């Protein structure tokens, strides 16, 4: 039996996945939400006074973001035990500059470009080789319209960028058409309260990944920072057809804020149960009504023939049945979680089709191409378009295969789950899970107990 509890750098590479020999009944608490942690770190750094962030995600992306914020002048200290962090904010303006490298983190890098516009000294924002390939021009152009001075250091439209101190970033009104990523919109929203003129965003097209913009609104409200949206002004937040978002210039102070478990990470465990007959996973701390976009996949399990129970306001249980039924659905609101479904679809009854996935082309890797390649390896018949994937598992085989992960944490976790039900899978570069879930393999080991 493989020891999945070994430190990440001691795991075999490739890492064989042992198929289950019996059903499991396991309780797991996923790590803190990556999306919420990133937003909370920025808001705490910009606030006046000290914030306490309870159970943030400790992973490559979030750690690099916190380090970058501290480089510019925020202060962070971890509570004994290292689960909670206290962040002393800068009251809207960072006293220092410097060079920050956000690694593979798309959200941290895009947030930091916006944050750097509030620094008193020049800031160079850089990332990994892959991050240098990912588009950032849309966000830079938006910030320039608001008065920021940003220069491309090497290649136009790509990292690294140099943000030059300027008192001319004023906020105001901006019109935004179709975007490749909602991260740019969230970045603007996070810094809007400290801009002299606040911010009014008018959307000329439907938002890309709009639930992540809703999530930004929800987290901002915890710091008593409020957004109004029109023509709809719903308690739930910004609707996908909202035409404008208005954020007034306003002061924020430190808050105590608890990070809920990551819905994207939880999905791997739910699908592990869904494709493993009579297996059951109990996930603690995550409401099925969470504002996290991937929580929207909860509604899929009943349709897949899987039993779903809402135990209480924060806990839920998923139990696998005899069959896992293929689905057709729009994944535009749940792009990260769809990888867990797509890999699991290799064990489904019927053909799966997921649409609305154009953002997956510009993630840590081209995830649609990666899914097509690796699912084809195991014999599935797969086709993709610019924004969809169709998976026919009827041609699958059980020959041994090594799954290439493309240094993408979600590819590693999704196909590890598949390996519970499909023999012969090994995962290349298993340590790439450190990006969002360093404890994934240790939790994975619990399924064999």
- Three-state SS annotation for 55-100: CCCCCHHHHHHHHHHHHCCCEEEECCCCCCEEEECCCCCECCCEEE
What percent of the chain stands above pLDDT 90?
80
pLDDT of 307 higher than 50: yes
Instruction: Give dist(CA 247, CA 254) in Å, integer.
Output: 19
Element (H, E) at 106: helix 106-116
Q: pLDDT tens across 140-159, in order?
A: 999 999 999 999 999 999 99
pLDDT (0 to 100) of residue 211:
87
Q: Is the dihedral of CA 279, 283, 284, 287 positive or negative?
A: negative
Q: Is the pLDDT of residue 236 over 70?
A: no
For the chain, give the mean pLDDT.
92
Calculate mean pLDDT across residues 214-220: 93
Radius of gyration of the chain (CA): 22
Taken in order 80, 438, 132, 292, the sign of the CA dihedral is negative
Per the CB < 8 A criterion, the answer to whether 109 and 85 are in contact is: no
Neighbours of 424 (CB within 10 A): 15
pLDDT digits (tens, 9 = 90+) for 404-441: 999 999 999 999 999 999 999 999 999 999 999 999 99
Distance CA 110, CA 70 (A): 17
Structure tokens at 178: 């179709």
Q: Which pLDDT band holds residue 235 (cuts at 50, 70, 90)?
A: very low
Estimate to the nearest angstrom the gap between the alpha carbon of 161 and the chain centroid.
23
DSSP secondary structure letter of residue 318 = E
Q: What is the token pair recorded at 196?
A: 């002299």
Under 8 Å between Cβ of 331 and 338: yes
The pLDDT assigned to 238 comes to 47
Three-state secondary structure call for residue 92:
coil
218-221 LR contacts (CB < 8 Å, sep 24+): 218/291, 219/36, 219/39, 219/40, 219/43, 220/39, 220/43, 220/189, 220/190, 220/193
Q: Are 331 and 286 in contact (CB under 8 A)?
A: no
Confidence category of residue 57, pLDDT binned at 50, 70, 90: very high
Confidence of residue 233 (pLDDT cuts 50, 70, 90): very low
Main-chain dihedrals φ then ψ at residue 309, nearest 5 degrees: -125, 130
Q: Percent of the chain having pLDDT more than 70?
A: 97
Span 29-56, average pLDDT: 97
Cis amide linkage into residue 327, ω under 30° from 0: no
Which segment of 53-67, 90-104, 170-184, 348-362 scores lowest on mean pLDDT? 170-184
Q: Report the pLDDT averaged over residues 230-252.
A: 66
Based on the residue annotation, tell me whether 336 is a catalytic residue of this protein: yes
pLDDT of residue 8 exceeding 90, the answer is yes
- pTM as predicted: 0.93
What would the mean pLDDT of 350-365 be, rounded to a whole number?
90
Yes or no: say if 419 and 44 are a contact pair by the CB < 8 Å rule.
no
Mean of pLDDT values over 45-67: 97
Average pLDDT of span 370-395: 97
What is the C-alpha separation between 253 and 223, in angstroms, rounded? Answer: 7
Give the domains, in start order, of the chain with CATH numbers. Answer: 8-32+260-448 (3.65.10.10), 34-227 (3.65.10.10)
Whether the Cβ atoms of residue 186 and residue 213 lie closer than 8 Å to each other: yes
**Count of C-beta atoms within a 10 Å radius of residue 440:** 25
The pLDDT score that the predictor gives to residue 387 is: 92
- Residue 242: pLDDT band (50, 70, 90) is low
CB atoms within 10 A of CB 299: 12
Burial of 198 (0-12, 13-18, 19+ CB in 10 A): middle
pLDDT at position 166 is 75
Among residues 217, 336, 392, 443, the one annotated as catalytic is: 336
Tell whether the model's pLDDT for residue 243 goes beyond 90: no
Whether residue 203 has pLDDT greater than 90: no
């Amino acid at each position: 039996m493989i020891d999945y509890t070994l430190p990440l750098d001691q795991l075999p590479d490739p890492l064989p996945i042992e198929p289950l020999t019996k059903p499991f009944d396991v309780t797991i608490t996923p790590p803190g939400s990556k999306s919420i942690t990133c937003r909370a770190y920025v808001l705490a750094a910009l606030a006046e006074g000290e914030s306490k962030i309870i159970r943030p995600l400790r992973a490559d992306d979030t750690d690099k973001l916190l380090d970058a914020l501290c480089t510019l002048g925020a202060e962070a200290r971890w509570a004994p035990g290292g689960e909670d962090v206290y962040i002393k904010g800068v009251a809207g303006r960072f006293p220092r500059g410097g060079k920050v490298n956000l690694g593979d983190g798309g959200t941290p890098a895009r947030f930091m470009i916006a944050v750097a516009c509030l620094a008193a000294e020049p800031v160079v924002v850089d990332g990994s080789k892959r991050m240098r390939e990912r588009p950032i021009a849309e966000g830079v152009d938006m910030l320039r319209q608001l008065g920021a001075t940003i220069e491309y250091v090497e290649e136009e439209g790509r990292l690294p960028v140099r943000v030059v101190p300027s008192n001319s970033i004023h906020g105001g009104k901006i019109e935004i058409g179709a975007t490749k990523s909602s991260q740019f919109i969230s970045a603007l929203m996070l810094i809007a309260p400290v801009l002299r003129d606040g911010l009014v965003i008018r959307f000329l097209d439907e938002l890309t990944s709009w639930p992540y913009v809703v999530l930004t609104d929800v987290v901002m409200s915890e710091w008593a920072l409020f957004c109004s949206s029109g023509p709809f002004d719903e308690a739930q937040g910004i609707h996908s057809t909202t035409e404008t978002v208005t954020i007034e210039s306003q002061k924020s102070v430190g808050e105590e804020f608890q990070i809920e478990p990551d819905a994207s990470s939880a999905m791997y465990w739910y699908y592990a149960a869904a494709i493993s007959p009579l297996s059951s996973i109990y996930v603690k701390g995550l409401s099925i009504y969470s504002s996290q976009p991937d929580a929207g996949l909860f509604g899929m399990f009943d349709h897949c023939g899987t039993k779903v129970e809402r135990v209480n306001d924060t806990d839920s249980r998923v139990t696998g049945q005899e069959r896992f039924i293929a689905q057709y659905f729009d994944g535009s609101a749940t792009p990260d979680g769809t990888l867990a479904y797509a890999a699991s679809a290799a064990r489904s009854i019927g053909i799966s089709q997921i649409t609305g996935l154009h953002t997956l082309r510009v993630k840590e890797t081209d995830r649609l191409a990666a899914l097509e390649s690796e699912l084809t390896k195991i014999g599935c018949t797969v086709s993709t378009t610019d924004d969809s994937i169709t998976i026919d598992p009827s041609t699958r085989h059980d020959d041994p295969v090594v799954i290439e992960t493309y240094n993408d944490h979600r590819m590693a976790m999704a196909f590890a789950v598949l390996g519970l039900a499909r023999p012969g899978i090994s995962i290349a570069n298993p340590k790439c899970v450190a990006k969002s879930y360093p404890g994934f393999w240790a939790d994975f080991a619990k399924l064999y107990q």
